[in-house]
Amino acid sequence: MINVGLIGTGRIGQVHAANIARNRQAYLRVICDARPEAGKTLACKYDTAFTAAPQEVIQDKSIDAVFICTPAHSHIDLMEAALATGKYVFCEKPLDENLEKAQRFVTTHSDFVARVMVGFHRRFDDSHQKLRKKVESGALGSIEQIIINSRDPRLDSYEILRGTGGIFRDMMMHDIDQASILTRESFVGVVARGACFVDPVFAKNGDFDTATATFWTQSDATCTIFNSRRSLFGFEQTIEVFASGGTAVVRATPATSFSIRDEAGEHIDGPKGHFFERYRDAYNAECCAFLEAIESGAPFPVSANDGLRALALADAADRSARLGQWVAL
């Protein structure tokens, strides 16, 4: 049995808590949140201990693994403390909001970063796995263009986005991770634009709510990613890999297959909820993969270096958008 502590009980912490609690390999021993009202409710739900002090989780010798689900700027300090006490760490993306700090973390602790898994849940989604296998099999030939649309349905409150490092490090990071595992070549440049169409709160906070980035490789294959914090049609995430031998597509998953046809045309149900609903199974598979790797001693399927690569690419896209010029990688 793997004893688990979870730090941070906000949007994503609640998803992981549910998956840990129902996993037979794990025991959710303690839940921690700096805001007791949030953490205590969740601890009560899973009948487990609560603390408002992360150090208590980290110093607890009975805990084998820690899930870090706090805002980006706290990830590295918490990881360093947990690794120093010999724990395994599941850390939500991004590794940090600051690239230099993340680089220092990975190089300074090269001996034990293998104990870290980073949260890129889409890698555990069935459709995305099929796409990746198809590309890796060579059946599609060589990739020429990748097009990714990623749009959130709405913005409930800017507060939850404060401290995420901005749209490129927060939202586009998942798309960047997908793109970089699909292309076998590294990206050598990026040009990006950011805009504020959805809510002036983004501009006030020096962030964008809408972003586009095109990355390219040495052989001129491109990946273009479109992000928006607003999609009236619902949560939309599609990916198209256009290659010399065909095109592979993952579409937004509809909530149901219901549709009505009338004189005005066809009306179909919108895509499934938000990312929690769309990727429910993927989050659970991600949690299982982390625990199974601890149990078996196998390397984690997503490494700290994967997190660092995605952060470096997101950081370059952010710089390109702010400078208004392309950035070499």
Ligand X SMILES: NC(=O)c1ccc[n+]([C@@H]2O[C@H](COP(=O)([O-])OP(=O)(O)OC[C@H]3O[C@@H](n4cnc5c(N)ncnc54)[C@H](O)[C@@H]3O)[C@@H](O)[C@H]2O)c1
Does 237 interact with ligand X (rule: CB under 6 A)? no
Does 189 interact with ligand X (rule: CB under 6 A)? no
Residue 223 identity: C
| Minimum gap (Å) between residue 177 Cβ and ligand X | 10
**DSSP labels, 21-57:** HT-TTEEEEEEE-SSHHHHHHHHHHTT-EEES-HHHH
Does 90 interact with ligand X (rule: CB under 6 A)? no
CB under 6 A: which stretch of 9-17, 255-263, 289-297, 302-310 binds ligand X?
A: 9-17
Does 164 interact with ligand X (rule: CB under 6 A)? yes
Which one among 35, 184, 251, 267 touches ligand X, defined by CB under 6 A? Answer: 35
d(CA 125, CA 130): 9
Strand order in the sheet with 327-328: 246-250, 236-243, 143-151, 222-228, 210-217, 187-195, 327-328
| Minimum gap (Å) between residue 302 Cβ and ligand X | 11
Does 5 interact with ligand X (rule: CB under 6 A)? no
User: Residue 180: what are its φ and ψ, rounded to 5°?
Assistant: -75, -20
d(CA 257, CA 49): 42
d(CA 20, CA 314): 29
Does 255 interact with ligand X (rule: CB under 6 A)? no
- Torsion angle of the four alpha carbons 189, 190, 191, 194, in this order, in degrees rounded to the nearest 10: -160
Q: Give the residue closest to ligand X by C-beta.
A: 10
Count the residues in the chain: 329
CB under 6 A: which stretch of 28-36, 79-87, 131-139, 142-150 binds ligand X?
A: 28-36
Q: Which is nearer to ligand X, 134 or 230 (CB)?
A: 230
Contact 324, 191 (CB under 8 A): no
Does 194 interact with ligand X (rule: CB under 6 A)? no
Which one among 20, 42, 65, 72 touches ligand X, defined by CB under 6 A? Answer: 72
Number of residues that bind ligand X (CB under 6 A): 26
The residue ranges that bind ligand X (CB under 6 A) are: 7-13, 32-35, 38, 54, 69-72, 74, 92-93, 119, 121, 160, 164, 170, 275
